[in-house]
Amino acid sequence: MTDALEPRLTSWRPLLPWQSAAAAAALATRARWPHALLITGRRGIGKRSLARYFAQALLCEEPRADGSACGHCPSCGYVAAGAHPDLRLIEPVEYDEDGGPKPVDAIVVERIRELIEFAQLTAHRQRAKVALIAPAEAMNGAAANALLKTLEEPPPGTYLLLVTDQSARLPATIVSRCRLLPAPEPDVDSAIAWLAGEGVERAQLLLAQAGGAPLLALALADAAMQRERDALLDALSRPERLSPVAFGARLDAYPRDERKTRLADAVYWLLAWTADLAAVASGGAPRFNPDRHEALARLGARVARVALFRYYRALLQQRALLGHPLVPRLVAEALLFEYRAAFAQKDG
Ligand SMILES: [Zn+2]
């Protein structure tokens, strides 16, 4: 759900530069690899890449002495091709009649039942079976319940890799049955170098917009995404002229199945903007939108701070609700009316 900015239909990336040390440390204890590993960390730092790297290592037929995958055995080839028979990827995705993937709100119980069946089969390549659940918090209640038994008594040779950026939304019964691995945070230099290598211009600004998360920065580099950001931030810069209804109409101009994603994007920009406004109002510097420092300073001087903090909380609540049925236009309008009110109170 709130991963709308991140490509769900994973184009699996190789291990990222800032993950090497943590990956090596984890594989050094490979002999005691847990049946269920929960990789946690904020969005956009490469948790899935790390999970994929582990999956390949566990499935490799001739692993190196340090526990990493050899890269040239048949299993490594299948993983690279995204077609290993002993590897399952469980995502909130459905397939239409043409086999085309379509994002959906939740990982439903049927997906977990398929996973349980898979876990009971004999491994095709005789090494291991690996299932990757990403994002794990997308499992609905029934799906999480169905998974519990497999977590308690995993069939031998079966490894579960769960990935989440919202572990608080996972049932405690799931979390307590996994070994936790916090994904390594990238440092600014390697993040910028990596983004430049991906052909991203203005890497520094995009990394700021993404709060330091490189894969999120890459997603935000999309031209359409930046157009939406500009339109929204221009509107937020002039609260007295801001029209929530016009913004709602802008959202409604998108095809129906895109509106929720666009709303999730808007909530992301609103959160970043509001955090910057609070920072600037307290004499700090904007973390996410350094290119908008002037407008933020002007607004920070006149915003009602209590209302601003209340607004930030409202945005967080709204973000948690994005996976539920809602009318994107109405949500966007309500959020912008409330934003405008944070200024009206001060003036009036
Ligand atoms: Zn191999």
What pLDDT shows up at residue 121? Answer: 85
What tens digit of pLDDT does each residue of 30-58 get? 999 999 999 999 999 999 999 999 999 99
Distance 17 CA to ligand 1 centre (A): 20
pLDDT band at 11 (very low <50, low <70, confident <90, very high): low
Pairing status of strand 101-103 against strand 93-95: antiparallel
What pLDDT shows up at residue 3? Answer: 39
What pLDDT shows up at residue 345? Answer: 54
Distance 274 CA to ligand 1 centre (A): 47
Distance 61 CA to ligand 1 centre (A): 5
Half-sphere exposure of residue 311: CA atoms within 13 angstroms, side-chain side: 27
Distance 179 CA to ligand 1 centre (A): 25
pLDDT band at 2 (very low <50, low <70, confident <90, very high): very low
Q: Which amino acid is at 312?
A: Y
Instruction: Reply yes or no on whether the pLDDT at 295 is more than 70.
Output: yes
227 Rama sector, left if φ>0, alpha if ψ -120 to 50, beta otherwise: alpha
What pLDDT shows up at residue 234? Answer: 97
Distance 68 CA to ligand 1 centre (A): 8
Distance 87 CA to ligand 1 centre (A): 14
What pLDDT shows up at residue 5? Answer: 35
Q: What is the pTM of this model?
A: 0.86
Distance 190 CA to ligand 1 centre (A): 27
Burial of residue 42 (CB within 10 Å: 0-12, 13-18, 19+) is middle
Distance 197 CA to ligand 1 centre (A): 26
What pLDDT shows up at residue 314? Answer: 95
Distance 22 CA to ligand 1 centre (A): 20
Distance 34 CA to ligand 1 centre (A): 20
What are phi and psi for residue 86, nearest 5 degrees? -100, 15
Distance 311 CA to ligand 1 centre (A): 51
Instruction: Reply yes or no on whether the pLDDT at 332 is more than 50.
Output: yes
Distance 67 CA to ligand 1 centre (A): 10
Instruction: Reply yes or no on whether the pLDDT at 10 is more than 50.
Output: no
Q: Which DSSP string corresponds to 90-153?
A: E-SEEE-TTS-EEE-S-B-HHHHHHHHHHHHSPPTTSS-EEEEETTGGGB-HHHHHHHHHHHHS
Distance 248 CA to ligand 1 centre (A): 51
Distance between CA 189 and CA 192 in Å, rounded? 5
Distance 62 CA to ligand 1 centre (A): 5
Distance between CA 32 and CA 27 in Å, rounded? 9
Distance 73 CA to ligand 1 centre (A): 4
Distance 79 CA to ligand 1 centre (A): 9
Burial of residue 221 (CB within 10 Å: 0-12, 13-18, 19+) is buried
Distance 329 CA to ligand 1 centre (A): 49
Distance between CA 144 and CA 201 in Å, rounded? 41
Residue 212: strand, helix, or coil: coil
Q: What is the mean pLDDT of residues 279-295?
A: 96
Highest-scoring range by mean pLDDT, 84-88, 99-103, 122-126: 84-88
Distance 123 CA to ligand 1 centre (A): 16
Distance 173 CA to ligand 1 centre (A): 34
